[in-house]
Structure 1
């Protein structure tokens, strides 16, 4: 597949609105999405298409940075078009859009595994209501975050990066300015800690892809219980647990209220419910609630981490994977104060370095490592040999 001509000036691109293409077989949906996105000063819909064949043609012509791609379309559907679009432009950010059915959720998860950056569930109605407003807000934020991530990677690809260090010489900030590198991440020294009794994982944009890889590599490395909060709608979280259950060598389930935490099992927070953990007699159980969203999310990572601190104190090993926003930062700060272990995914391997970047830049991480090194890093801490 012929790749696109990248002749656009990077400096001018940084000032220009994010270039979006909308692909959907419904003219009504295309119209709504185009109007909603064009209402934003920093977003411009440069093209639209009604199927995958037209999308390939329009992509080559208009060179969008982000594509909103429907799943079910005539002539060429979204899943068929996706790898062809990415072959044309490997930096392309694709958001899969579909009605929230079990089948479409399953297709969206498979799309993430072959290159899509994110997904969004279409509202059942385009009339003015809370669902439509939430969809519009969520879509524009995803476009902004993915557009910024794309441009950020392109701008820094040739710049040196000062690697994470546990020592911060006084001239590091000046060196970063002098060389054009990013400022270094200062790691928190790992003091004497008791062996972790539970692993907690928080993730958002890019999280499913990261979780698939992490759980593949975690096989045989631990029998600890694992609790996972991934920002997802309800239908998606059930399927995410099923997908992970096929990958991992131990059981992965969507969490249920009152369920006991046991070794050798992983629990995914269900969509639209905060997952917390509490002690009840001699048992440790999961409690679900629909208290207000935190960090605009439900489920949210922070309530999970706070509850783990109250039950396990510092015997928690937390991993913050790729995701937009800063959910998990507050909980990680409290865990770090108790001398619990915090691992962050590095920027280079994150789809969006929002959540892991927040904890890394706050100085609460013991390690900041590429995705493919996280399982080995976890194993090192569990064996008392920090990486």
Structure 2
């Protein structure tokens, strides 16, 4: 049975372009194209779509308000159509908090050409959204106990994709302020990661920043890979430092979780505690396996708590996870492992 898709956008051009892309695929069906939230509300009732693409910036009732009402009345997988501006990025991150599955950046210039270039991305995200689990309430994770030591010896590494912004937020909210330096790769385009880092910083006891390259990794600090740049962790004498790279995509992505994990195999090995969270595809699976083989402690989020059980599934199938846990149990498992192995107090 074809995936029923409803397009909600005040731009007739975007509605037509998305409609053409959707109707070009045998497994997708465009059931409606609404210019505003009022028409969309009626179409949701009439057609009961499997996936909705939703413009954030609409007249009368904006996309965020429509999304909030939709998630209360009829939870449905939603892909946000976002503009690449600071306000657009902030609204996009907010939409993910409200339950949207993912987002597609709207091209600034040459909309028709831009949408065509995004054709494969749009189709992949629609199909992924149709298979996803809609989360109307964010997972509440109990704050972990204070770590009994601080050290630059240990590193926490987290990788995620679809559904990952909220999963990472839940983990970071629970981490103690003296947790080891934490490196994070979330699949996200340029312009959005700085906003995401600020949101994480506002809710975390640790200091969270978008990586710039050259930083010395310090406990109590978390570093998010910037959009469209790989993040590598290297050994520099007794320290760990960050490098950013513009090299080719790895496992189909830049930034890539595999790229980050593989760098940790070389630089930190058994000093790493790594977690692979919700996301589509396989990025991070091979890297997590290499980390486990190097003596690192490895975790995967379980299927039931994932929005999309793609990346963790691939890692579990490889035997890359020491433990497979629900999201709410991952922070405590990390801290328990760090307490178990202890470390020196060198800073």
Q: Does the TM-score normalized on the shorter chain lie above 0.5?
A: yes
C-alpha displacement of 1:289 = 0.8
- Who is 1:135 aligned against? 118
C-alpha displacement of 1:234 = 1.6
2:207 and 2:72 mapped to 1: Cα distance? 36
Per-residue CA distance 1:102-146 (angstroms, 9 max, x = gap): 101101111111111111101232344xx5444221111011112
- Who is 1:369 aligned against? 325
2:241 and 2:205 mapped to 1: Cα distance? 22
C-alpha displacement of 1:51 = 1.0
Question: Counterpart of 1:314 in 2: which secondary structure?
Answer: helix
2:173 aligned with 1:216: yes
CA contact (8 A) 2:228 2:255 kept: yes
Q: How many residues align?
A: 324
CA separation of 1:283 and 1:384: change in aligned 2, threshold 3 A:
closer
The equivalent position to 2:67 in structure 1, one of 82, 97, 112, is 82
2:96 aligned with 1:96: no
Structure 1 residues without counterparts, runs of 5 or longer: 1-15, 154-194
- Who is 2:149 aligned against? none
The equivalent position to 2:3 in structure 1, one of 18, 22, 43, is 18
CA contact (8 A) 2:17 2:115 kept: no
Per-residue CA distance 1:196-254 (angstroms, 9 max, x = gap): 7100000000010111111111235x520000000001211101110010111121000
CA separation of 1:133 and 1:282: change in aligned 2, threshold 3 A:
farther
1:280 and 1:381 mapped to 2: Cα distance? 25
2:31 and 2:252 mapped to 1: Cα distance? 29
Structure number with higher relative contact order (C-alpha < 8 Å, ≥ 6 residues apart): 2
Per-residue CA distance 1:331-384 (angstroms, 9 max, x = gap): 111111122111111111111000111112222211111111111111221122
The equivalent position to 1:271 in structure 2, one of 227, 243, 250, is 227
Q: Provide TM-score, normalisation by structure 2.
A: 0.89
CA separation of 1:227 and 1:266: change in aligned 2, threshold 3 A:
same
Structure 2 counterparts to residues 281-296 of structure 1, below 5 A: 281-296=237-252
The equivalent position to 2:25 in structure 1, one of 32, 40, 46, is 40
Please say which structure displays the higher CA radius of gyration.
1
2:90 and 2:315 mapped to 1: Cα distance? 31
2:308 aligned with 1:352: yes
